[in-house]
Structure 1
Amino acid sequence: MPDEMPISRRAFTVTTLAAGFALSTQPVAAETITTDAKDLTAGEVKIPVKDGTVPAYRAAPNKGGPFPTVLVVQEIFGVHEHIKDICRRLAKLGYLAIAPELYARQGDVSKLERDGIMKVVSKVPDSQVMGDLDATVAWAKKDGNGDTAKLGITGFCWGGRIVWLYAAHSKELKAGVAWYGRLTAAGKATELQPKFPIDLAGDLAAPVLGLYGEKDTGIPVKDVEAMRAALKKANKPSEIVLYPDAPHAFYADYRPSYKKDAAEDGWTRLQAWFKKNGVA
């Protein structure tokens, strides 16, 4: 019977990762950083989840292990070339870095303009994302040569919010680094995305370093200060850095928003945060 078909046969619209950069991010900026795969094992893998498989990009040193493991959570543009490059950057530092395609059931955003992307993203349940990240950790431990006792997560934009949520969800996570992820609902909480980081400040089970820009028009400074206050009230060892001249997406070297000084400082802080909190 058609209704008895396995959900994996009908619900996954993305079965392989997109090549290159997402259409809506073109043209790619001259400052774009390209990290080679020399001395790395890098490429696409399949992550078993409860209703099928999710494609993911992973990169790790090609010798040794098991390696400290970092989940890399995509921007709204999905797992395109920038996210893959970040995985390789982390692998060069000695990590197993893995980025699952978290919209796999809802749609391929790589060929869409922003309005179309937002329609797909709005259909992605937070509960699904948490489950897929858990499945990615399980894959890393079993098949990826990962040391998940040293587990970190980092994410950008859409993925920055997910970092905060996962730090409240996972009992295995050691630390997270959230790059300019939305902190408050701003009237946009939904049934599928019911809570935001500020709602979960007291529930964080792992410390999060938040990296934000003062000139981010989508995440006002008042939201950042409200999150700082919520963390202080909850007595949580998380921190937020606010860069005075940085806009949203200041780490995205392939976009005009890139701010080299803030990006490099944030990357240095990420490494120190992971080392301080048991991920390295």
Structure 2
Amino acid sequence: MSMVTVPTAQGPIDAVLETPSGIAPWPGVVVVHDALGVGRDIRDITSRVAAHGYLTLTPDLYTRGGRARCVVGTFRDLIRRRGRAVDDLLASRDLLAARPDCTGSVGVIGFCMGGGFALVLAPRGFDASAPFYGPLPRHIEDALGGACPIVGSYGARDPMLWGAGRTLDGTLARLGVEHDVQTYPGVGHSFANRLASGQVTGKLLRITGMGYDRATSEDAWRRVFEFFDSHLSGGAEG
């Protein structure tokens, strides 16, 4: 894992780059962090995606001021589907696609806030998208028209996204977008994220329908990798 700089229209941003083992070139994947930023969990996810055979880049959307100063603006860009955060992610895609060790095919995976970005970026030149419990965009049919194939994962007990998986599944079916959207029973938000928590915080996460679930997470990752392997050239067996 190495730190790299992504050039963007509004100045460079930091990013984590993970290179797979084996012989290049590899397909690329942009990982979009959740509202907490690029912490240990997102770095572990970056390594996991790379281990499966993808050149993986995780840009830090909070580079220009840290989470406290940037989170509101980043969510605003998500809601508007445009702005600095969107431009940063498109620049990250372009950096991967242009590298000689990338095949030129690039997917996007995101979590919570990042899952929302994975959805709104699906029509913006990516080859596959994997939102984990991503908030749905406003005017969803307009937002997802012309989207790339999407593999989405949601929790039935997610108090913030009731019915989001069903809505996304129905919308993509009407739009004719190839997709695999699963709503998992018995789990809530962040079921694929190992969020650091103490005893009290852990209880709060469970009460609010949040928290990691290993079995569900592993099944979701199985689906994501199978889906990406069929839409991005050359994914390895993981």
In 2, the alpha carbon distance for the partners of 1:198 and 1:247 equals: 25
Q: 1:270 aligns with which of 200, 224, 228?
A: 224
Q: For structure 1, list consecutive stretches of 5 or more residues without a partner in the other structure.
A: 1-41, 185-194
Q: Could you tell me which amino acid in structure 1 is paired with residue 24 of structure 2?
A: G
Q: Could you tell me which amino acid in structure 1 is paired with residue 48 of structure 2?
A: R
Instruction: Find the structure with the greater CA-based Rg.
Output: 1
Q: Tell me, yes or no, if structure 1 residue 108 matches structure 2 residue 66.
A: yes
Please give the secondary structure, in 1, of the residue aligned with 2:3. strand
In 1, the alpha carbon distance for the partners of 2:51 and 2:232 equals: 18
Give the TM-score taking structure 1 as reference length: 0.71
In 2, the alpha carbon distance for the partners of 1:238 and 1:215 equals: 22
Give the TM-score taking structure 2 as reference length: 0.83
The corresponding residue for 2:165 is 224
Equivalent residues of 2:35, 2:113 under 8 A apart: yes
Q: 2:109 aligns with which of 151, 154, 173?
A: 154
CA change 1:183–1:122 in 2 (3 A) is closer
Please give the secondary structure, in 1, of the residue aligned with 2:157. coil
The corresponding residue for 2:175 is 234
Q: Tell me, yes or no, if structure 1 residue 66 matches structure 2 residue 25.
A: yes
Equivalent residues of 2:111, 2:132 under 8 A apart: yes
Query: Which runs of structure 2 are paired with 1:55-94 in the superposition (5 Å)?
Result: 55-61=14-20, 64-94=23-53
Could you give the per-residue CA deviations for residues 4-49 of structure 1, whole angstroms, max 9, x where no partner exists? Answer: xxxxxxxxxxxxxxxxxxxxxxxxxxxxxxxxxxxxxx12100111
In 1, the alpha carbon distance for the partners of 2:13 and 2:100 equals: 15
In 2, the alpha carbon distance for the partners of 1:209 and 1:178 equals: 7
Greater share of helix residues, 1 or 2?
2
CA change 1:213–1:196 in 2 (3 A) is farther
Equivalent residues of 1:130, 1:169 under 8 A apart: no
CA change 1:121–1:133 in 2 (3 A) is closer
Query: Which runs of structure 2 are paired with 1:255-266 in the superposition (5 Å)?
Result: 255=196, 256=202, 257-266=211-220
Could you give the per-residue CA deviations for residues 79-118 of structure 1, whole angstroms, max 9, x where no partner exists? Answer: 122111111111111211101112333x311xx5xxx775
In 2, the alpha carbon distance for the partners of 1:82 and 1:155 equals: 13
Query: What is the Cα-based RMSD across aligned positions, in Å?
Result: 2.2
Q: Could you tell me which amino acid in structure 1 is paired with residue 180 of structure 2?
A: E
Could you give the per-residue CA deviations for residues 218-243 of structure 1, whole angstroms, max 9, x where no partner exists? Answer: 0002x332222222221221221000
Please give the secondary structure, in 2, of the residue aligned with 1:203. coil
In 1, the alpha carbon distance for the partners of 2:101 and 2:2 equals: 14
Please give the secondary structure, in 2, of the residue aligned with 1:224. helix
In 1, the alpha carbon distance for the partners of 2:92 and 2:9 equals: 12
CA change 1:50–1:81 in 2 (3 A) is same
Q: 2:101 aligns with which of 141, 145, 148?
A: 145
4+ residue runs over 6 A deviation? none
Q: For structure 2, list consecutive stretches of 5 or more residues without a partner in the other structure.
A: 197-201, 203-210
